[in-house]
């Protein structure tokens, strides 16, 4: 489980690393984008400084999510002040939700945004009991806002406002970045003070202890992270379209050769044309006509679309078992989506004809994104619209382009052999399962 730990300030990072070094874990320094990071191979985690305050923390978290996609989980780890009497210095708090408390809007109702910690992660972490430790682990809301809480009255008001156990600055920034990118997020804080007049001095005195306990908790929850990945119940299934749900090969062959012939270029055998299904139209043209003809790609795209608007829907046939499979999955309460290089309006036309359009919650087509597969833009867009993350979605496709898309988005991938890609081609990818057809999917999901 690939985990990114974002830590607000360098002193917190130093104490985390000190604790791990004392326990024999090795580190390796690296650079991702514009930020230095520290990798801990034994824990399969990467550590980075998020910066002080919600905005800076959000910016630097988003930068790492964009530059290095594929994270399964982002943890905001740092110190916090206690808002309730039941917490002691050194205790660890896992946020069931991060509550952004410092929006001072005057128009409309007061805003108090809440970002839930990844449910599967939080649930699994409740089973973590670090042996031989002198700290307790608490689960509940953590308040987030760019404010030093150093007054007992303010502490009490903030607890009443948010019902939070603890308060810190940056968590909401990280939560917003992860929500935007469709990546699972949880905030874990070590208690350094009681958010009162002694908070500043207590922070300095207790930071080493608090961050050492956070390091210990993260270490002991490693087996649980693997359990999360293996046993999580997926909440949404996102499909590729061509050769996954439908056979549009006759239409694709017709449109490719219409466009090639119109450009005065040699037509290609049907089998050769079918091998390009899943590529963008520009990539299809370059693949078939060569780099030397790339200057004609725009005209190829125009001609392909012109012909496809006439014939593609009529020449596309859904696989026989698809209607029943989709109905079963929908009946089990799963969110359903499609991400394809095929234009959305064309997919919608085919599904409407088959009476299936209303069963899909989101469809992302070639016209909806700036970058096509294997860029993860479309898959992330679909997850966002479904309100899901990379931890509770699965992507189903028939090609290595689909597998690469899932890899870049950090989404579990299931391959189906209903296209032209052989089983062995998927061996280079971390494929959760290889199925003969989507009709096998409900059984594999356990629904």
More confident site: 378 or 133: 378
Contact 79, 12 (CB under 8 A): yes
pLDDT (0 to 100) of residue 130: 60
Query: What is the mean pLDDT of the segment spanning 115-139?
Result: 80
pLDDT confidence bin for 102, thresholds 50/70/90 = very high
Q: What is the dihedral of CA 130, 131, 132, 136, to 10 degrees?
A: 30
Query: What is the mean pLDDT of the segment spanning 68-85?
Result: 92
For 352-381, give one letter per residue: b (16+ CB within 10 A) or e.
eebebeeebbbbbbbebbeebbbbbbbbbb
pLDDT confidence bin for 232, thresholds 50/70/90 = low
What average pLDDT is seen over the chain? Answer: 91
**pLDDT of residue 6 exceeding 80:** yes
DSSP reduced 3-state for 135: coil
**pLDDT of residue 234 exceeding 90:** no
**pLDDT of residue 230 exceeding 60:** no
pLDDT confidence bin for 133, thresholds 50/70/90 = low
Q: Which domains does the chain have, with CATH numbers?
A: 3-230 (3.40.50.1580), 236-246+316-445 (3.40.50.1000), 259-305 (no CATH)
Tokens of 177: 């970045």
Per DSSP, the residues of 319-367 read -TTHHHHHHHHHHTT-EEEEE-SS-HHHHHHHHHHTT-GGG-SEEE-GG
pLDDT (0 to 100) of residue 189: 97
pLDDT (0 to 100) of residue 231: 46
**pLDDT of residue 132 exceeding 70:** no
Place of tokens 């579990």: 412
**pLDDT of residue 125 exceeding 90:** no
pLDDT (0 to 100) of residue 158: 95
pLDDT confidence bin for 223, thresholds 50/70/90 = low
pLDDT (0 to 100) of residue 52: 95
State how far Cα 231 lies from the chain centre. Answer: 17
Please write the tens of the pLDDT for every residue from 249-278.
Answer: 999 999 999 999 999 999 999 999 988 987
Q: Which residues contact 334 (CB under 8 A, 6 or more apart)?
A: 234, 235, 236, 237, 445, 447
**pLDDT of residue 225 exceeding 60:** no
pLDDT (0 to 100) of residue 447: 43
pLDDT (0 to 100) of residue 227: 47
pLDDT (0 to 100) of residue 219: 83
pLDDT (0 to 100) of residue 127: 74
Please write the tens of the pLDDT for every residue from 292-318.
Answer: 899 999 999 999 999 999 999 899 999
Helix (H) or strand (E) holding 283: helix 281-289
């Amino acid at each position: 489980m690939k985990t990114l730990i974002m830590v607000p300030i360098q002193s917190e990072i130093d104490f985390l690393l000190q604790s791990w070094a004392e326990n024999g874990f090795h580190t390796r320094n690296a650079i991702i984008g514009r930020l230095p990071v520290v990798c801990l191979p034994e824990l399969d985690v990467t550590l980075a400084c998020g910066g002080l305050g919600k905005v800076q923390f959000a910016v630097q978290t988003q930068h790492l999510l964009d530059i290095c996609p594929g994270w399964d989980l982002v943890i905001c780890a740092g110190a916090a002040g206690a808002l309730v009497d039941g917490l002691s210095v050194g205790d660890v708090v896992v946020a069931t939700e991060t509550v952004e408390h410092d929006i001072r809007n005057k128009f409309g109702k007061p805003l108090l945004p809440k970002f839930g910690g990844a449910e599967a992660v939080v649930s699994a972490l409740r089973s973590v009991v670090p042996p031989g430790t002198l700290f307790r682990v608490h689960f509940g809301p953590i308040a987030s806002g760019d404010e030093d809480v150093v007054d007992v009255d303010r502490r009490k008001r903030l607890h009443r406002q948010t019902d939070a156990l603890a308060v810190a600055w940056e968590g909401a920034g990280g939560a917003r970045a992860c929500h935007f990118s469709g990546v699972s997020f949880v905030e874990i804080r070590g208690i350094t003070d009681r958010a009162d007049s002694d908070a500043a001095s207590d922070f300095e005195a207790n930071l080493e202890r608090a961050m050492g306990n956070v390091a210990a908790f993260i270490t002991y929850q490693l087996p649980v992270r693997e359990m999360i990945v293996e046993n999580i119940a997926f909440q949404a299934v996102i499909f590729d379209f061509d050769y996954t749900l439908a056979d549009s090969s006759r239409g694709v062959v017709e449109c490719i050769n219409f466009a090639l012939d119109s450009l005065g270029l040699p037509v290609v055998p049907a089998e050769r044309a079918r091998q390009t299904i899943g590529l963008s139209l520009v990539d299809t043209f370059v693949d078939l006509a060569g780099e030397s003809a790339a200057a004609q790609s725009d005209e190829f795209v125009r001609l392909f679309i012109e012909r496809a608007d006439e014939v593609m829907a009529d020449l596309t046939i859904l696989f026989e078992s698809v209607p029943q499979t989709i109905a079963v999955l929908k009946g089990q309460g799963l969110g359903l989506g499609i991400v394809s290089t095929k234009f959305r309006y064309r997919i919608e036309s085919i599904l409407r004809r088959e009476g299936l359009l209303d069963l899909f919650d989101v469809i992302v087509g070639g016209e909806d994104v700036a970058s096509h597969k294997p860029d993860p833009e479309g898959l992330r867009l679909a997850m966002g619209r479904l309100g899901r993350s990379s931890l509770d979605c699965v992507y189903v496709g028939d090609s290595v382009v689909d597998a690469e898309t899932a890899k870049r988005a950090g989404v579990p991938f299931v391959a189906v052999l209903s296209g032209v890609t052989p089983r062995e081609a998927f061996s280079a990818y971390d494929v959760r399962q290889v199925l003969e057809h989507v009709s096998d999917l409900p059984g594999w999901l356990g629904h």
